[in-house]
């Protein structure tokens, strides 16, 4: 079993994980989604909140994200969460693509964000 988090806004992968409305959390067992739940995102910038440690304590090992700054990426990685950047679209379609092995990390991060310039 593993858990995958997707930063979400209105059912879509949010372009910036630190400003998402909530995280859609999928539990994966035997290569299939066995459970789906949501976790409300804390206020503020993701790299400066404690969301990485909270998600890690929930058993999250993978994050399928739109984009994020290097500070956020480093905090998530240090918490044991592997991040795939460059995801977009409906979260259920993205998790299906991930399960098929079709999701790869874009390797690109944000360079600055309005209100969050110190990534």
> Is residue 108 in some structural domain?
no
> Is residue 111 in some structural domain?
no
Give the model confidence (pLDDT) of 11-39 as tens digits: 999 988 778 899 999 999 999 999 999 99
> Is residue 107 in some structural domain?
no
Distance CA 50, CA 82 (A): 16
> Is residue 109 in some structural domain?
no
Which CATH number does the domain housing residue 43 bear?
3.30.420.130
Q: Which residue has the tokens 């930063």?
A: 7
What's the longest Cα–Cα distance across the chain?
41
Residue 82, number of CB atoms within 10 A of its CB: 13
Give the range of the structural domain holding residue 24, as residue numbers without chain letter: 2-99
> Is residue 106 in some structural domain?
no
The model's confidence at residue 48, banded by pLDDT at 50, 70 and 90, is low
Domains contained in the chain, number:
1
pTM (global) more than 0.85: yes
Contact 98, 4 (CB under 8 A): yes
């Amino acid at each position: 079993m593993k858990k995958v988090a997707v930063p979400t806004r209105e059912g879509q992968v949010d372009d910036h994980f630190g400003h998402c409305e909530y995280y859609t959390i999928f539990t994966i067992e035997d290569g299939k989604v066995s459970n789906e739940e949501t976790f409300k995102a804390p206020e503020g910038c993701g790299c400066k909140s404690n969301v990485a440690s909270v998600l890690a304590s929930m058993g999250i090992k993978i994050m399928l994200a739109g984009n994020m700054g290097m500070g956020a990426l480093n905090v998530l990685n240090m918490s044991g969460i592997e991040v795939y950047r460059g995801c977009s679209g409906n979260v259920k379609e993205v998790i299906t693509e991930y399960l098929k092995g079709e999701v790869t990390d874009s390797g690109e991060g944000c360079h600055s964000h309005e209100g969050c310039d110190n990534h």
